[in-house]
Structure 1
Amino acid sequence: MTNKRAVIAGGGVAGTVAALALERAGWQPRVYEAYAENESEKGAWLTVAVNGLAALRELGEDPAEILAAGFPTPRLTMSNAKGRRLAVVPLGGPTPDGTVTTTIKRSDLYAALRRAAEKRGIPIEHGKRLTGFTEEPGGVTVSFQDGTHETGDLLVGADGLRSRTRELLNPGGPKPRYLGLLNAGGFTDRPVDVPLDRAPGMMHMAFGRRAFFGWGVAPDGRVWWFANPPRKWPVEPGEFTPEQWRAHLIELFEGDDLPAAAIIRATDEALGPWNTDDLPRVPVWHSERVVLAGDAAHAVSPSSGQGASMAIEDAVALGRSGSLAEYERRRRARVERVVAYGKRNGSSKTAGPIGSAIRDAMFPLVMKMLYRKGDPQAWIFEGREP
C-alpha cells in the first residue's frame, strides 16, 4: 500500500494518528475534520496509557514530545466514600525508554498530534463534515456537507462515536449504547480548602455514596478532576445551565469524606454533562476502499482509560497491514475485549447501598488475589491479543 491517496474523515486522535501511520507507510494522506479549528478541541482531559505511548513510538513519534504538556500518572488509588483506601494499582509498567502512562488535556494532545502531522506535510482541513461516499473501480469519492468532494484510493472513517462512515457501511447497524453514567470534568481555578494527597504520579479515584469521582494534581498545583453521576436516562442538550450543573455535582458529593465537593467548589466551570456511551460490536469494519478506525469502529467507555490508546494502536495496525481484512483481523478481537472491560468498570460505579457495602468489604481482598500472580491488566498495557 504505497504512493496512494488516503482521505481521512476526522481530525481527532484516531484520524490524525492514522494519517501519521499511512504517511509512514508511503501513502499521501489528507485529513478532513468536521468542526472548525477552534471548536474541535473541546473536552477536559484524558490518559494515554503505556500501550498507546509504545504505539506512538512505532509511528516514528517521540511520546515525550507529543505528551510534553501532560504529566506522568503511573499509579492509581481507589477509595470508598469514607476516604478509606481500598487499593493502589499500577497503570502499566514503563516502556523500555522509561515512559509511563501520562495524563494530558485533550486540546493539548490534539495540538501536538497536528503539529506532528504538519511537520510531515500532511494537510488538515477544518469544517469538512462527511455526508457520503461512492466507491468506484478506480477509487472512492467523498462528499462533504459544504458541497465539496474529494477523491482518493482509500477512505478512513475516523469520524467518532456517531460516525457517518459507519452508518453507511452498516445500514441499520448498531448505535452508541448509553451506559447509565454521566460524565463531567474540570480544572481548579484556586486552592482547594481541604487537605489533598499531592504525591507525584498518582491518580485518585473514589466510590462516593451517590457518584464516582477521580482527580489528580498537576505539576502547577491545579487539580484535574472528573465525576460520573449514575443516571438511568441520557442527558439532553440544555437540560442543565452551567451553574445548575456545578451545583448539582457539589450536592452529589456533600457528606462524603472526600475532597470532591471542595475540588468542584474551587472550579469556576464544571465541564459537561456528557453521556457515557460505548459501541457494541460493529458487523462491518471495511469495504474494498473504506475502513473504520477509533471510536467509529469500537468506542470504548472512558472507564477503560483506553480510548486514545486504542485509536493509536489502530493506526499502527492500519499502516502495517497489507489489506483492510488483515487490519480487521489484527484489531477486532482485542478492541472488543477492551470495550467489554470498560463496560464492566463502569458498572462498578453504579452499585447501590448494599452493593457498595459488599464492594468495600471485598475489594481489597479481591485486588490482592488478582495481583498475586502479576498485573491482571497486563494484556491491555502490553498490547497483547486475547
Structure 2
Amino acid sequence: MGRLLVIGGGAAGTAAALALRKAGFDVAVYEAHPDAAEDIGAFLTLASNGMRALAQIDATAAVTALGFPLTGMRMLDGSGTERAARPLGEAEDPALRYRCLRRGDLNTALQAEAARRGIPVRHGARLVSVDERPDSVTAHFADGATATADLLIGADGLHSTVRRSIAPTARPRYAGERVFYGRTADAPCPGATGVITFIRGASVAFGHTTSPEGETYWFARVAGDPLTPEEIARGTAAHHRDLLGPLLREDATPAAGIVAATADDILVTDATELPRGMPWRSARCLLIGDAAHAASPATGQGASMALEDAVILAKSLRDAPDRDTALTAYENLRRPRVEHNITVSGGISRGTHSRPAAPAPRPGDGELTEQLEWGGR
C-alpha cells in the first residue's frame, strides 16, 4: 500500500499516524484546528487499556510527562458515605496507570512526537469533501489544497466530515445528560492525590480528583434537555455555577464547595453518541475514534478506545494481504467492543444502568493484550 492520509490530529488520528509509521507506512496528518491545543480547557482520563496502546507505539514517555497518575477510586453516596473503594486499573505498573490530563496537552504531545518521527502534521487544513476513485482517494480542503492517497482515515471526531461521505444519514444523538467540566486550585476539600472520587448524588453524578500541585479537576453529569449550540457558546462560568449549585447542595458531599470555588475554568457540553451499526468504511475510507463510535463520556473510555483503534488498525494493515481484508479484520475486532461501550455508557447517562463499583467485563477484554501487542497478530 502506498500513501495514507489521516484527517484529524486529535488523539485518535495522531496515534494512528504514529502506529502506521511504525508499521512502515507513508502517512500524513491533516488537522482543521490552526494549532495543536484544541479544547485546551477540558480534561480526560486515559485508562490502563489506553496506556497499553500508547506503549505499543512507543509513546508512553511523551504522555506520562503530562498530567498525573490515578491509582485508586472511591464511590460515595449523596450523604457522603463511602460505598466502595478499590485500586484503579493496572495500578501496579507505572506505564499502565490511569492518567488524568488536559485534552489539548495530549494532542500537543502526540503531534510533537509525530513531528519528531518525521510525520507531516498540517494545521488549518479543514476538509470539505472526499473524492473516491477506483485507484485512489482525494481529500479537498477549504483553502483549495488537495491530497491524494491509497487510503483515507477519518479521525475527525463527532462531527466528522469524512463520515458524511460514508454514512450520510448517521447523526450524533443526545445521550440524556449535560456534562460540565471544571478545575480549581481553591477547592475547600481537595482530597487525596492519585484518587478519583465518584459521587452518586440525588440529581447530579459528580467526580473529582486532585493533582500533585493542588488543582482539583471535576466533572458533573446532569440529566435534562439538550443545550443548543447557542446556549453552550453563550454560557458563562457564573451561569454554570448557578445552575449546578442548588442541585449539588441537595447532597452532603464536597461537590457544591468544589464548584463554588471554581472561577472561570468551567466548560459544558451535551453528552452525545453515534448510532450502533452504522457503516464505518467505503472502498478507500475508514472511520476511527469518535468519528466511528462516539459514546457518552459516562464510562470514561472514549480516548482509550480510540488509542486501541490506532494500534489495531496499523497491525491489521501491516499483517493482511490486501486493504479490504485488513479493514474487514479491523472492523470485526473493533465493532463488538466499542459498540458495547456506546450501549453501557449511554445507559449510565440515561439512568437505565448504574455505574458499577467494579469494572464490568467488556467484549474483547480477554484478547486485548494480544490484539495490542505489536509483535503479535
TM above 0.5, one fold?
yes
Q: Which residue of 2 aligns with 1:53?
A: 51
Which secondary structure does the structure 1 equivalent of 2:138 belong to? strand
Deviations 1:93-148 (A, max 9, x none): 24766531111111221111111101111111111111111112331111112222
Q: Which residue of 1 aligns with 2:33?
A: 35
Which secondary structure does the structure 2 equivalent of 1:197 belong to? coil
* AA matched with 2:179: N
CA distance in 1, matches of 2:58, 2:78: 44
TM-score (norm 1): 0.86
Moved more, 375-384 or 158-167: 375-384
CA distance in 2, matches of 1:95, 1:51: 14
Q: Evaluate the alpha carbon distance shift between residue 251 and residue 235 of structure 1 in structure 2; reply closer, same or farther with a 3 A threshold.
A: farther
- Which residue of 360, 372, 376 maps to 2:360? 376
Could you tell me whether the CA contact under 8 Å between 1:16 and 1:117 is conserved in 2?
yes
Q: Which residue of 2 aligns with 1:121?
A: 118
Q: Which residue of 2 aligns with 1:285?
A: 280
Q: Evaluate the alpha carbon distance shift between residue 97 and residue 256 of structure 1 in structure 2; reply closer, same or farther with a 3 A threshold.
A: closer
Q: Evaluate the alpha carbon distance shift between residue 68 and residue 39 of structure 1 in structure 2; reply closer, same or farther with a 3 A threshold.
A: closer
Could you tell me whether the CA contact under 8 Å between 2:194 and 2:211 is conserved in 1?
no
- Which residue of 303, 306, 309 maps to 2:301? 306
* AA matched with 1:32: Y
Where do residues 225-264 of structure 1 align in structure 2 (5 Å cutoff)?
Answer: 225-238=218-231, 240-264=235-259
Q: What are the ranges of 5 or more consecutive residues in structure 2 without an aligned counterpart?
A: 321-325, 370-377
Give the C-alpha shift of residue 270 in structure 1. 4.1
Which secondary structure does the structure 2 equivalent of 1:32 belong to? strand
Where do residues 71-82 of structure 1 align in structure 2 (5 Å cutoff)?
Answer: 71-82=68-79
Q: Which residue of 2 aligns with 1:17?
A: 15
Give the C-alpha shift of residue 344 in structure 1. 2.3
Q: Which residue of 1 aligns with 2:327?
A: 324
Q: Evaluate the alpha carbon distance shift between residue 98 and residue 56 of structure 1 in structure 2; reply closer, same or farther with a 3 A threshold.
A: closer
Deviations 1:63-120 (A, max 9, x none): 2431221111132211111111121244322476653111111122111111110111
CA distance in 2, matches of 1:383, 1:66: 24
Aligned length: 359
Q: Which residue of 1 aligns with 2:196?
A: 203
Q: Evaluate the alpha carbon distance shift between residue 233 and residue 107 of structure 1 in structure 2; reply closer, same or farther with a 3 A threshold.
A: closer
Q: What are the ranges of 5 or more consecutive residues in structure 1 without an aligned counterpart?
A: 352-358
Percentage identity across aligned positions? 38
Moved more, 216-225 or 42-51: 42-51
Q: Evaluate the alpha carbon distance shift between residue 287 and residue 65 of structure 1 in structure 2; reply closer, same or farther with a 3 A threshold.
A: same
- Which residue of 132, 147, 151 maps to 1:150? 147
Give the C-alpha shift of residue 332 in structure 1. 0.9
Give the C-alpha shift of residue 274 in structure 1. 0.4
1:187 aligns with 2:183: yes
Q: Which residue of 2 aligns with 1:176?
A: 172
Give the C-alpha shift of residue 379 in structure 1. 5.8
CA distance in 2, matches of 1:302, 1:58: 25
Which secondary structure does the structure 2 equivalent of 1:214 belong to? strand
* AA matched with 2:360: P
* AA matched with 2:249: E
Q: Which residue of 1 aligns with 2:336?
A: 333
CA distance in 1, matches of 2:273, 2:64: 25
Give the C-alpha shift of residue 39 in structure 1. 5.8
Give the C-alpha shift of residue 283 in structure 1. 2.5
Q: Evaluate the alpha carbon distance shift between residue 383 and residue 52 of structure 1 in structure 2; reply closer, same or farther with a 3 A threshold.
A: farther
CA distance in 2, matches of 1:337, 1:90: 24
Q: Which residue of 2 aligns with 1:346?
A: 349
* AA matched with 2:191: D
Q: Evaluate the alpha carbon distance shift between residue 65 and residue 39 of structure 1 in structure 2; reply closer, same or farther with a 3 A threshold.
A: closer
CA RMSD, Structure 1 to Structure 2 (Å) = 2.3
